[in-house]
Chains A and B, each alone.
Chain A
Amino acid sequence: MSTPVAMQPVAEPATGRTGPRPAQRLTGFMPLIALVALVAALTIADPDFLTARSLTAVARTAAPLIVLAAGATLVVLCGGIDLSIAALASLTTVLLALWLPHLGGLATPAVIGVAAAIGAVQGVAHVLLRIPSFIVTLGGMSILSAVALVVSGAGTVRVVDDSPVAWLDLYLAGYVPMSAAMALLVVALIALVLKVTPLQSWISATGYSESAARLAGTPVDLVKIGAFCVSGACAGFAAVMLVSRQFSGGPTMADNLLLPAVAAIVVGGTAITGGHGSLWRSLAGAFVVTLLRVGLPIVGVPSAYEQILYGVIIVVAVALTLDWSKVSIIK
Chain B
Amino acid sequence: MTVTSGVAASRRIFRRGAAFRDAGPPVALVVLFLIFAALSPQFRSIENVQNIVDAAAVLAVVTCGITFVLMMGSIDLSAAGVMGASALTVSLLVANNRNDNDFGLAGIAVAVVLGCAFGCLSGLALVLLKVPSFMATLGVSAIGLGVATLMFAGVQPNITDAMLKSWAIERFLGLSYLTWIAAACILVGWLIQRYTRLGRYAFAIGGAEEVLTLSGVKVKPYKVAVFALAGAFYGLGGVMVTSQLGAGLVQAGNGYDFSAITAAVVGGTLLTGGRGGILHSAVGVVLVMVLTNGLVQVGVSPYWQGGVEGLIVVAAVAAAVIPQRRRNQVVK
Contact in complex: B314, A146 (CB < 8 Å) = no
Q: Contact string, A128-164, partner B, CB cutoff 8 A, digits 1/0?
A: 0111111110111111011101100010000000000
Q: Is B142 an interface residue (CB 8 A)?
A: yes
Q: Is B129 an interface residue (CB 8 A)?
A: yes
B residues contacting the other copy or chain, number (CB 8 A): 56
A208 CB to closest chain B CB (Å) equals 12
> Among the listed A81, A262, A302, A313, which residue makes an inter-chain contact with B150, where contact means beta carbons less than 8 Å apart?
A302
Closest Cβ neighbor of B261 among chain A residues? A138
Closest Cβ neighbor of B213 among chain A residues? A329
Contact in complex: B330, A146 (CB < 8 Å) = no
Residues of B within 8 Å of A304, CB to CB, are: 146, 149-150, 152
Q: Is B221 an interface residue (CB 8 A)?
A: no
Contact in complex: B318, A129 (CB < 8 Å) = yes
Contact in complex: A305, B150 (CB < 8 Å) = yes
Which secondary structure dominates where chain B touches chain A?
Answer: helix
Contact in complex: B210, A329 (CB < 8 Å) = yes
Q: Is A314 an interface residue (CB 8 A)?
A: yes
Residues of B within 8 Å of A329, CB to CB, are: 209-210
Contact in complex: B332, A308 (CB < 8 Å) = no
* Cα distance, A113 to B1, chains bound together (Å): 65
* Cα distance, A322 to B126, chains bound together (Å): 12
Q: Is A318 an interface residue (CB 8 A)?
A: yes
* Cα distance, A76 to B130, chains bound together (Å): 17
Closest Cβ neighbor of B321 among chain A residues? A130
> Among the listed A138, A149, A313, A327, which residue makes an inter-chain contact with B130, where contact means beta carbons less than 8 Å apart?
A327
Contact in complex: A131, B317 (CB < 8 Å) = yes
Closest Cβ neighbor of B324 among chain A residues? A130
Q: Is B285 an interface residue (CB 8 A)?
A: no
Contact in complex: A133, B332 (CB < 8 Å) = yes
Contact in complex: B306, A146 (CB < 8 Å) = yes
Q: Is B267 an interface residue (CB 8 A)?
A: no
Contact in complex: B313, A139 (CB < 8 Å) = yes
Q: Is B132 an interface residue (CB 8 A)?
A: yes
Contact in complex: A308, B146 (CB < 8 Å) = yes
* Cα distance, A140 to B74, chains bound together (Å): 20
Q: How large is the interface on A (under 10, 10 to 19, 20 to 34, 35 or more residues)?
A: 35 or more
Residues of A within 8 Å of B140, CB to CB, are: 311, 315
Residues of A within 8 Å of B135, CB to CB, are: 262, 266, 272, 314-315, 318
* Cα distance, A90 to B332, chains bound together (Å): 25
* Cα distance, A185 to B303, chains bound together (Å): 37
User: Most chain-B Cβ atoms within 10 A of its Cβ — which of A131, A139, A145?
Assistant: A139
Residues of B within 8 Å of A319, CB to CB, are: 125, 129-131
Contact in complex: B303, A139 (CB < 8 Å) = no
**With A136-B314, A305-B150 known to touch, is A331 a contact of B306 (CB < 8 Å)?**
no
Chain B 117-148 residues near chain A, CB threshold 8 A: 125-126, 129-136, 138-147
Contact in complex: A315, B129 (CB < 8 Å) = yes
Contact in complex: B331, A310 (CB < 8 Å) = no
Contact in complex: B331, A132 (CB < 8 Å) = yes
* Cα distance, A318 to B125, chains bound together (Å): 10
* Cα distance, A214 to B126, chains bound together (Å): 30
Q: Is B309 an interface residue (CB 8 A)?
A: yes
* Cα distance, A278 to B328, chains bound together (Å): 28
Q: Is B58 an interface residue (CB 8 A)?
A: no
Chain A 207-225 residues near chain B, CB threshold 8 A: 210-211, 214
Residues of B within 8 Å of A214, CB to CB, are: 329
Chain B 254-313 residues near chain A, CB threshold 8 A: 258, 261, 271, 273, 301, 303-311, 313
Contact in complex: B146, A130 (CB < 8 Å) = no
Closest Cβ neighbor of B219 among chain A residues? A329
Contact in complex: A330, B130 (CB < 8 Å) = yes
Q: Is B107 an interface residue (CB 8 A)?
A: no
Q: Is A324 an interface residue (CB 8 A)?
A: yes
Residues of B within 8 Å of A141, CB to CB, are: 310
* Cα distance, A312 to B141, chains bound together (Å): 10
Residues of A within 8 Å of B325, CB to CB, are: 130
Q: Is B73 an interface residue (CB 8 A)?
A: yes
B253 CB to closest chain A CB (Å) equals 14
Contact in complex: B318, A274 (CB < 8 Å) = no
* Cα distance, A313 to B313, chains bound together (Å): 29
Contact in complex: A135, B303 (CB < 8 Å) = no
Contact in complex: B271, A135 (CB < 8 Å) = yes
**With A125-B314, A274-B332 known to touch, is A330 a contact of B131 (CB < 8 Å)?**
yes
Q: Is A293 an interface residue (CB 8 A)?
A: no
**26 A/B residue pairs, CB under 8 Å, sorted by A:** A81-B134, A129-B314, A131-B314, A132-B271, A132-B317, A133-B331, A135-B271, A141-B310, A145-B306, A305-B146, A307-B142, A307-B146, A308-B143, A311-B138, A311-B141, A311-B143, A315-B140, A318-B131, A318-B139, A319-B125, A319-B131, A327-B132, A329-B209, A330-B126, A330-B133, A331-B72
Binding site for B on A (CB under 8 A): 79-81, 125-126, 129-136, 138-143, 145-147, 149-150, 154, 210-211, 214, 259, 262, 266, 272, 274, 302, 304-316, 318-319, 322, 324, 327-331
State the 7 A-B residue pairs at the shortest beta-carbon distance, nearest first: A146-B307, A307-B146, A308-B146, A311-B142, A142-B310, A319-B129, A311-B143
Query: What 8 additional pairs, Cβ within 8 angstroms, besides A143-B307, A322-B130, A331-B133?
Result: A138-B77, A139-B314, A154-B303, A272-B135, A311-B140, A318-B132, A330-B133, A331-B74
